[in-house]
Amino acid sequence: MINTCSILVSLSITRETVMSNEPHVIGRYINGISINGLEFVLDKEDGDVRVFPNKEDAMEFLIQSGMTGEELDNLDKYGMEVDPAWVHLDGYNN
């Protein structure tokens, strides 16, 4: 008999691993209100949304910007998200 729980856990870990290696963006809710949508970290050079090569680089940027480990573990509490770029950017392909 196949253990369904271990298959689901395996699929979930694999999906998270794949998603963490995709290009990511950092956003926060405008005025801290989720129905307002997100505003994103911008690239200094051209003013476009900054797309990080992966989730780890996006999180490192937040650390370099002064966020603590506790804050990183509770991004939703601060109205922030670190998501794959394709989730928020129309027409974005990795």
Exposure letters 28-41 (e unless 16+ CB within 10 A, then b) = ebeeeeeeeebebb
pLDDT tens, the chain, 94 aa long: 454 444 445 444 444 555 678 999 999 999 989 899 999 999 988 899 999 999 999 999 999 999 999 999 999 998 999 999 999 888 777 5
Using a 10 angstrom Cβ sphere, with 0-12 exposed, 13-18 middle and 19 or more buried, the burial of residue 84 is: buried
Distances (CA, A) of 89 to 41, 57, 83, 84, 94: 13, 18, 10, 9, 11
